[in-house]
Chains A and B, each alone.
Chain A
Amino acid sequence: MGSYVPNTDKEQQEMLKEAGYKSFEDMFSCIPDEDKLGRELDLPSGLSEMEASRKVEELSDKNVVYKHIFRGAGAYNHYIPAIVKSVTSKEEFVTSYTPYQAEISQGVLQSIFEYQTMMCELTGMDVANASHYDGGTAAAESIPMCKDRKHSVAYVSEATNPAVIQVMRTYCFGSNTKLVTVPVKDGLTDADQLKKMLEADPEAACFYLQQPNFFGNYEDAEKIGQIVHDAGAKFVMGVNPIALAIMKTPAECGADVAVGDGQPLGMPISYGGPYLGFMAVPKAMMRKLPGRIVGETTDDDGNRAFVLTLQAREQHIRREKASSNICSNQALCALTASVYMAAMGADGMANAATQSTSKAHYLKDQLENAGLKAAYKAEFFDEFVTVCPCSADAILSALAKHGILGGLPIADDQILWCATEMNSKADIDDVAAIVASVTGKEA
Chain B
Amino acid sequence: MSNPKDLLYSESHEWVKMLDDTTALVGLTDYAQSELGGLVFVNLPEVGDEITAGETFADVESVKAVSDVYSPVTGVVAEINEELLDAPEKINEAPYDAWFVKVSDISAKEELLDADAYDEFIKGLE
Interface residues of A (CB under 8 A from B): 149, 287, 310-312, 317-318, 321
Q: Give B49's nearest chain A residue, CB to CB.
A: A149
Q: Is B64 a contact partner of A317 (Cβ separation < 8 A)?
A: yes
Q: List the A side residues contacting B62 at CB < 8 Å.
A: 312
Residues of A contacting B65 in the complex (Cβ-Cβ under 8 angstroms): 312, 317
Contact between B64 and A311 (Cβ–Cβ < 8 Å)?
yes
- Residues in A neighbouring B125, C-beta threshold 8 A: none
Q: How far is the CB of B22 from chain A (nearest CB, A)?
A: 25
How far is B63's CA from A310's CA once the two chains are assembled, in angstroms?
7
Q: A287-B41, A317-B66, A321-B66 given. 17 additional CB < 8 A pairs?
A: A149-B46, A310-B40, A310-B41, A311-B63, A311-B64, A312-B40, A312-B41, A312-B61, A312-B62, A312-B63, A312-B64, A312-B65, A312-B66, A317-B64, A317-B65, A318-B66, A321-B59
Contacts of B40 in A (CB 8 A): 310, 312
CB distance from A205 to the nearest CB of B (A): 15
For this complex, 20 residue pairs linking A to B, each with C-beta atoms less than 8 Å apart, are: A149-B46, A287-B41, A310-B40, A310-B41, A311-B63, A311-B64, A312-B40, A312-B41, A312-B61, A312-B62, A312-B63, A312-B64, A312-B65, A312-B66, A317-B64, A317-B65, A317-B66, A318-B66, A321-B59, A321-B66
Select from chain B the residue with minimum beta-carbon distance to A319. Answer: B66
Contacts of A318 in B (CB 8 A): 66
Q: How far is the CB of A150 from chain B (nearest CB, A)?
A: 9
Q: How many residues of B contact A (CB 8 A)?
A: 10
Residues in B with CB closer than 8 Å to A311 are 63-64
Q: How far is the CA of A149 from the CA of B48 in the complex (A)?
A: 12
Give the dominant DSSP class at A's interface: helix
B45 to chain A, nearest CB (A): 10
Interface residue ranges, B against A (CB under 8 Å) = 40-41, 46, 59, 61-66
The distance from the CB of A336 to the nearest CB of chain B, in whole angstroms, is 30
The 6 tightest CB contacts between A and B, nearest first, are A312-B61, A312-B66, A318-B66, A317-B66, A317-B65, A312-B41
What are the residues of chain A within 8 A of B59 when measuring CB–CB?
321
CB distance from B15 to the nearest CB of A (A): 23
- Cβ–Cβ < 8 Å partners of A321 in chain B: 59, 66
Shortest beta-carbon distance, B72 to chain A, in Å? 22
For A312, what are the chain B residues with a Cβ–Cβ distance below 8 Å? Answer: 40-41, 61-66
Most buried by A among B40, B46, B61: B61
In the complex, A287 Cα to B66 Cα: how many Å?
A: 14
Q: Which residue of A lies closest to B56 (CB)?
A: A321
Tell me, in angstroms, the Cα distance from A318 to B66 when the chains sit together. Answer: 7
How many angstroms from the CA of A142 to the CA of B57 in the assembled complex? Answer: 25
Instruction: Report A43 CB to chain B, min CB distance, Å.
Output: 43
Q: Complex formed: what's the CA distance from A318 to B68 in Å?
A: 11
Bound CA–CA A318/B46 (angstroms): 20
Give chain B residues whose Cβ lies under 8 Å from the Cβ of A149. Answer: 46
In the complex, how many angstroms separate the beta carbon of B31 from the nearest chain A beta carbon?
A: 21
B91 CB → nearest A CB, Å: 15
Shortest CB-to-CB span from A278 to chain B, Å, is 24
CA distance A101 to B64 in the complex (A): 13
Query: What residue in chain B is nearest A313 (Cβ atoms)?
Result: B61
Report B94 CB to chain A, min CB distance, Å. 22
A287 to B88, CA, bound (A): 14
Q: What is the bound-complex CA distance between A168 and B20, given in angstroms?
A: 50
Chain A residue at minimum C-beta to C-beta distance from B46 = A149
Give A310 to B62 CA distance when docked, in angstroms.
9
CB-CB < 8 A to A317: which residues of B? 64-66
Docked complex Cα distance between A421 and B70 (Å): 59
Instruction: Report B-chain residues with C-beta under 8 Å of the C-beta of A310.
Output: 40-41
Q: How far is the CB of A283 from chain B (nearest CB, A)?
A: 12
Chain A residues with Cβ below 8 Å from B66 are: 312, 317-318, 321
A286 to chain B, nearest CB (A): 10
* A312 CA to B66 CA, complexed, in Å: 6
Q: Which of A149, A312, A321 has the most CB of B within 10 A?
A: A312
CB-CB nearest in chain B for A307? B63
CB distance from A102 to the nearest CB of B (A): 12
Tell me, rounded to whole Å, the shortest Cβ–Cβ distance linking B47 to chain A.
Answer: 13
A149 to B77, CA, bound (A): 16
A318 to B64, CA, bound (A): 10
**Once the chains are docked, how many angstroms separate the CA of A368 from the CA of B61?**
60
Q: Measured between C-beta atoms, what is the minimum distance from A321 to chain B in Å?
A: 7
Chain A: which residue is nearest B68 at the CB level?
Answer: A321
Q: What is the bound-complex CA distance between A311 and B65, given in angstroms?
A: 9
Give the distance in Å from the alpha carbon of A321 to the alpha carbon of B41 in the complex: 15
Q: How far is the CB of B68 from chain A (nearest CB, A)?
A: 9
Nearest CB in chain B: distance from A34 CB, A? 41
* Residue in chain B with minimal CB distance to A316: B64
| Chain B residues, Cβ within 8 Å of A287 | 41
Bound CA span A149–B66, Å: 21
Cα–Cα distance between A311 and B66 once the two chains are bound (Å): 10
Q: Which residues of A contact B64 (CB under 8 A)?
A: 311-312, 317
